[in-house]
């Protein structure tokens, strides 16, 4: 299984106390072997969506000013609640 650019972003954030400048983040992704275009897309998607998901954990990228971003772990899923699928049986099943 290969490591995704998003996982490298979280790794870079983790190695910098959860805060990082975008230019340094891009530099680190390139150091990790991520292609420049892939790194730029991953960073812009994370900022646009304002979250990263790694396995079961979701992290919100919060701008701190001066090009700094901080990752904050969320206690709830970062995706819309109406997109959550359930496995509950229908209510009318009294059987």
Kindly list the domain boundaries of the chain, sorted by start residue.
5-75
- For residue 89, what are its two tokens? 């049986």
**Four-way CATH pick for 5-75: 1.20.120, 1.10.10, 1.10.287, 3.40.1350:** 1.10.10
Helix (H, G, I), strand (E, B) or coil at 58: strand
- For residue 72, what are its two tokens? 């904050």
What is the rounded average pLDDT of the residues 47-72?
A: 68
pLDDT tens digits along 17-50: 767 777 788 888 888 888 888 888 887 777 666 5
Alpha-carbon gap, residue 10 to 59, rounded angstroms: 9
User: Closest Cα to residue 24, out of 73, 67, 64, 61?
Assistant: 67
User: Closest Cα to residue 19, out of 53, 59, 55, 64?
Assistant: 64
* pTM, full prediction: 0.49
């Amino acid at each position: 299984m290969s490591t995704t650019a998003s996982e490298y972003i979280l790794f870079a954030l983790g190695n910098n106390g959860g805060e990082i400048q975008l230019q340094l983040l891009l530099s680190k992704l390139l150091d990790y072997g991520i292609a420049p275009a892939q790194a730029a897309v991953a960073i812009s998607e994370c900022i646009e969506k304002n979250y990263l998901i790694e396995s079961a954990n979701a992290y919100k990228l919060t701008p701190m000013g001066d090009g700094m971003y901080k990752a904050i772990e969320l206690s709830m899923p970062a995706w819309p609640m109406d997109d959550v699928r359930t496995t509950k049986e229908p209510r009318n099943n009294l059987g």
